[in-house]
Amino acid sequence: MSDHDYQPTSKLGKWFNDRLPLLTLSNHLSEYPTPKNLNYWWTFGGILTFCLIAQIVTGIALAMHYIADSDLAFASVEHIMRDVNYGWLIRYVHANGASMFFLAVYIHIFRALYYGSYKSPREVIWIIGMIIYLLMMMTAFMGYVLPWGQMSFWGATVITNLFSAVPFVGEGIVSWLWGGFAVDNPTLTRFYALHYLLPFLILGLVVLHIWALHVPGNNNPIGIDIKKPSKDTVPFHPYIVIKDGFALLMFIIVFAFFVFYSPNILGHADNYIEANPMVTPAHIVPEWYLLPFYAILRSVPDKLFGVIAMFASIFVLVILPWLDTSKIRSAVFRPLYRQFYWILFIDVLILGYMGAMPAEGLYLLVARVATAYYFIHFLIIMPILGRKEKTIPLPLSITEPIIGGSPDLANIIKKKSLN
Amino acid sequence: MSDKKPKRREFLFTASYAVGAVGVAAVIWPLIDQMNPDASVKALASTEVDVSSVKPGNTITVLWRGKPVFIRRRTQDEITEAKLVKMEDLKHPEKDEDRAKNPEWLVMLGICTHLGCVPLNDKGDYDGWFCPCHGSHYDTSGRIRKGPAPTNMEVPKYEFVNANTIKIG
């Protein structure tokens, strides 16, 4: 990176920067060379940063009024909704913010899958991203428990019981998680403490995620390595800042639609009934963003293997950089992968739908096929496809196909010899 | 000997790491153990229930250690049905006599052994209980017959204090 020799112009700036090079950092961030062909799918990194900050800010506001006690929690949430000034707004932004956060993270992940952003040299960015994703799921799950409604209570019961599948020590782990013999007050207070802690861990990992990104630089829609800085790049500020800002505004419109016009559509009516350990709601479903994993869990008839399959479905994503044997990053140049990518996308949507349906009859059968295909995609198709697929020749640079004519290999060699 | 000094240093390093590791473990353990069930939770170990008003064919649900316990006064048909089941048909073979000492009374944790939901009474393919969460069917003895649950519903430690009172725990 060329900004190490950056010098502030003002005397004070220079004095400060010699002692703490914050201005060098800010100069690096604004000059950061970015591929000039980034499309709008690349704006979700910025959108996700916004989501995290929005959740932390609204969360701290809610924490000033919420009471983590099994006798008072449910009433304190209603108190926030009815009595606290703008409490309804802050809570609806926070609750829908979780859904928006996951919506953005799924787009971000599927963008990485399409354009091969997880491949060398960006494996560490990808793995940090997966850790963030796991922490997000834990944070969202614990946050959903805090209102202490029926879905909170029974969701917490079902999810913590997953650990009872562990041989020998399972029961011990579960009662350790609960702090008792069932989900109860000790469970609520510790979930509250962790729900407050984890977002700050996520924030720290986001810094690492961006740091790791700034070492190789951004991938781009055609997935080739580019020289930085060059004719193929633009500085982050103002080009990407403006583009990200515009995308963020569009995203906030969708966000605001949910908050102001259908704030409960993504939630579940049963969660407006206070937790009752004697009665399980007729139909327990997790929040929409966890449904595909829930479908995988339920599609395996054995308890332990169901739990293993669910965790494995995330683990195959973590090791994806090594399962995908193709050297070509972008699906633009991988005609077969492009088709498998969309099949996988539909497969995950089907899993999500099956997760919301009762686990019986045809639903169960479809969920089983979709679960099998999910693993086949990552464990069989990806390794084989990289070796067998006939890919389309890559252009030499981002500008080459436009001003340099065809990306045809013969032309490229000719052009190289001319240079 | 020239290599005596490095050896001595290595020993000191290893000893320091070992002492350090024990120290870290000693500090971490209280932080982990504080999450286990505390004394006040453990103190609620037993509950006494008056069952005199329960009619045959009815079930009452009581809370014991924060968990629902089903107390069912079974009809003669249900007892017969439970006793006639062959052991080889069971996923988790247990005799009905071993689950209900007094065949009229079935006392068990009302918790599905799959993922902890509360099964529904008088539902399912085996005339016993049905768990709405993931579709486990239990028979009139609370034994798992169909679905993802691995074991029968658990029978807690209980005793009849007198003809009308059951003490659980």
* ipTM for the assembly: 0.77
Q: Where are the domains of chain A?
A: 36-284, 287-419
Mutate to test the interface with A, among B28, B40, B41 (most CBs of A within 10 A): B41
CA distances A31 to A218, A229, A387, Å, are 14, 9, 38
Q: A130-144, A307-321, B120-134: which range is least confident on average?
A: B120-134
Residue A407 has pLDDT above 50, yes or no: no
Residue B107 confidence class, pLDDT cut points 50, 70, 90: very high
Compare CB distances from A303 to B41, B114, B132 and report the shortest one's residue.
B114
Cβ atoms < 10 Å from Cβ of A118: 24
Report the gap between the CA of B69 and the closest CA in chain A (Å): 9
Nearest to A158 by CA among A375, A359, A349, A350: A359
**Disruptive mutation site among A181, A185, A297 for chain B (greatest number of B CBs within 10 Å):** A181
Residues A98-122, mean pLDDT to the nearest whole number: 97
Domain A287-419 fold: Helix Hairpins (1.10.287)
* Confidence (pTM): 0.88
Once rounded to an integer, what is the mean pLDDT over residues B80-100?
Answer: 87
Mean pLDDT score, A23-35: 94
Of residues B48 and A323, more confidence is placed in A323
Answer whether residue B99 shows pLDDT above 80: yes
Cβ atoms of B71 and B96 within 8 Å: the answer is: no
Tell me the pLDDT tens digit for each residue of A267-276.
999 999 999 9
Distance from CA of B166 to the nearest CA of A (A): 19
User: Which of A162, A180, A282 shows the shortest C-beta gap to B37?
Assistant: A180
Which tens digit of pLDDT belongs to each residue from A314-331? 999 999 999 999 999 999
Q: Chain A within 8 Å of B117 (Cβ-Cβ)?
A: yes
Q: What is the pLDDT of residue A146?
A: 97
User: Is the pLDDT at B40 greater than 80, yes or no?
Assistant: yes
**Between B61, B115, B134, which is nearest A278 by CB?**
B61
Same fold across A36-284 and A287-419: no
CATH class of A36-284: mainly alpha
Cβ(B80)–Cβ(B127) below 8 Å: no
Cβ–Cβ below 8 Å for B41 and A186: yes
- Band of residue A416 on the pLDDT scale cut at 50, 70, 90: low
d(C-alpha B151, C-alpha A240), whole Å: 57
Would you call A158 and B35 a contact, using CB atoms and an 8 Å cutoff? no
By the 8 A CB rule, do A92 and A259 touch? yes
pLDDT tens-digit series, residues A216-243: 999 999 999 988 888 889 999 999 999 9
- Average pLDDT of the segment spanning A251-267: 96
Contact at CB, A306 and B150, closer than 8 angstroms? no
